[in-house]
């Protein structure tokens, strides 16, 4: 790739994403969120069994016992023996259980606020990106969609549903057993990989004049 940004001609894909950036962002996010939420609903219905348990809370200084419906794993679907399964898990903490030690009253609003801040940063980064780059903008869209998918779980359920279970070494104890994850996590990981790729194979850094040249090139290519 040439180092002179003025000689850089964006691909037809990058031009399309650049010209339709709002539609592209909304479309990728919608597909990601729908796929994530639909798969989680399926996992809860297919892989778990609802149970009713008593829950005691203090209301106005008096203990009050109510019934609460919880879901517990009841079935495993083996896709690839000793490697890839579908199971049901609930994760009230962040990725890799990083906030597991936080009390519930603090953890849930903390994770919701952090997710919202990250989402706003992603939107700002997406719309302020100075040059046509379909790969990078797709990466940000996937991460934003994944973040919203898990955020919906945290707001609605206070935990995130995971169901994809992968062993790296076919149950060989010397190989890692990856934490159970979901479609939203997959979108975030794919987006992160694309950003990682762009970091090692970057487009030239534009100054203000070069950024205008990029925009003109995209407009001319679209015409």
CA distance 220 to 223: 5
Please give the structure tokens belonging to residue 138.
Answer: 């797709």
- The answer to the question of residue 2 being in a domain is no
- The answer to the question of residue 98 being in a domain is yes
- The answer to the question of residue 183 being in a domain is yes
Say how many C-beta atoms besides its own lie within 10 A of residue 147's C-beta: 23
- The answer to the question of residue 122 being in a domain is yes
Question: What digits encode the pLDDT tens for the residues 98-114?
Answer: 555 555 656 677 778 88
- The answer to the question of residue 110 being in a domain is yes
Say how many C-beta atoms besides its own lie within 10 A of residue 64's C-beta: 10
Number of domains in the chain: 1
Is the pLDDT at 73 greater than 80? The verdict is: yes
Say how many C-beta atoms besides its own lie within 10 A of residue 165's C-beta: 21
- The answer to the question of residue 1 being in a domain is no
Show the domain range for 106.
Answer: 9-222
Considering the candidates 36, 133, 162, 165, report the single residue annotated as catalytic. 162
Phi, psi of 83 (to 5 degrees): -140, -50
Is the pLDDT at 189 greater than 80? The verdict is: yes
Question: What digits encode the pLDDT tens for the residues 129-183?
Answer: 888 899 999 999 999 999 999 999 988 988 899 999 998 776 676 777 788 999 9
In this prediction, what percent of the chain has a pLDDT beyond 90? 45
Is there a catalytic annotation at residue 75?
Answer: no
- The answer to the question of residue 167 being in a domain is yes
CA distance 98 to 186: 18
- The answer to the question of residue 3 being in a domain is no
Do the beta carbons of residue 119 and residue 142 sit within 8 Å?
no
Do the beta carbons of residue 181 and residue 160 sit within 8 Å?
no
Is there a catalytic annotation at residue 7?
Answer: no
Mean pLDDT of 4-12: 64
Question: What digits encode the pLDDT tens for the residues 27-56?
Answer: 999 999 999 999 999 999 999 999 887 777
């Amino acid at each position: 790739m040439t180092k002179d940004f003025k000689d850089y001609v964006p691909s037809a894909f990058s031009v399309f994403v650049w010209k339709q950036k709002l539609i592209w962002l909304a479309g990728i996010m919608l597909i990601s969120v729908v796929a994530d939420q639909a798969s989680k609903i399926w996992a809860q219905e297919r892989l778990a069994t609802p149970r009713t348990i008593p829950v005691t809370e203090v209301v106005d200084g008096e203990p009050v016992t109510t019934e609460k419906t919880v879901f517990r794993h009841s079935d495993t679907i083996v896709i690839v023996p000793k490697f890839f399964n579908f199971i049901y898990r609930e994760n009230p903490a962040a990725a890799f259980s990083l906030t597991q030690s936080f009390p519930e009253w603090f953890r849930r609003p903390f994770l919701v606020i952090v997710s919202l801040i990250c989402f706003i940063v992603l939107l700002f980064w997406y719309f302020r990106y100075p040059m046509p780059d379909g790969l990078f903008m797709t990466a940000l869209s996937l991460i934003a969609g994944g973040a919203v998918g898990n955020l919906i779980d945290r707001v609605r359920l206070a935990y995130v549903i995971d169901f994809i279970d992968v062993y790296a070494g076919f149950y060989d104890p010397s190989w890692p057993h990856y934490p159970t994850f979901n479609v939203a996590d997959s979108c975030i990981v794919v987006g992160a990989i694309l950003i990682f790729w762009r970091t090692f194979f970057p487009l030239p850094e534009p100054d203000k004049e070069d950024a205008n040249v990029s925009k003109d090139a995209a407009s001319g290519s679209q015409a």
